[in-house]
């Protein structure tokens, strides 16, 4: 019986309505989007009762890192696909002049792939150094 009384006491049954202009409404929801709250009522209760409001923070270096990784991944996929095609071609033909041509192409693609892997390693090292300093 005590639990049901306590539940009724904690249940929100009162309403508080306000009118806003369109501009105010947009500003309010703009601020809500910058927080960790999913519901406007939770956000407003925090503000009204002077509770801390958790604001989302964008990490600029992480955004840059993600953009860099996306570009490098695309380049690696391109080089990896080309390298796989060359290796398949090499495996399908007997040693000949064509074989030697494809072998040269294979070696060139392998160098490009290793170069990109080196660039990725350098960028990862740079970002990790940057994060460790802060």
Query: Quick one: average pLDDT of 4-14?
Result: 72
Confidence of residue 118 (pLDDT cuts 50, 70, 90): confident
Query: Quick one: average pLDDT of 48-61?
Result: 78
Q: What per-residue confidence (pLDDT) applies to 79?
A: 80
Q: What per-residue confidence (pLDDT) applies to 134?
A: 54
Beta bridge partners of 35: 55
| Spatial distance between the Cα atoms of 94 and 66, rounded to a whole number of angstroms | 43
Q: What per-residue confidence (pLDDT) applies to 22?
A: 95
Q: What per-residue confidence (pLDDT) applies to 4?
A: 57
- Does the pTM exceed 0.75? no
């Amino acid at each position: 019986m005590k639990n049901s009384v306590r539940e009724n006491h904690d249940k929100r049954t009162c309403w508080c309505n306000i009118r806003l202009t369109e501009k105010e409404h947009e500003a309010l929801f703009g601020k809500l989007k910058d927080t960790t709250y999913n519901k406007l009522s939770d956000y407003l209760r925090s503000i009204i009762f002077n509770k801390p409001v958790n604001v989302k923070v964008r990490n600029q270096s992480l955004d840059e890192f993600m953009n860099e990784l996306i570009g490098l991944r695309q380049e690696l996929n391109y080089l990896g696909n080309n390298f796989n095609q060359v290796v398949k071609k090499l495996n399908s033909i007997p040693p000949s002049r064509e074989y030697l041509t494809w072998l040269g192409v294979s070696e060139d693609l392998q160098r490009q792939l290793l170069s990109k892997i080196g660039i990725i390693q350098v960028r990862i090292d740079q970002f990790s150094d940057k994060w460790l300093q802060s």
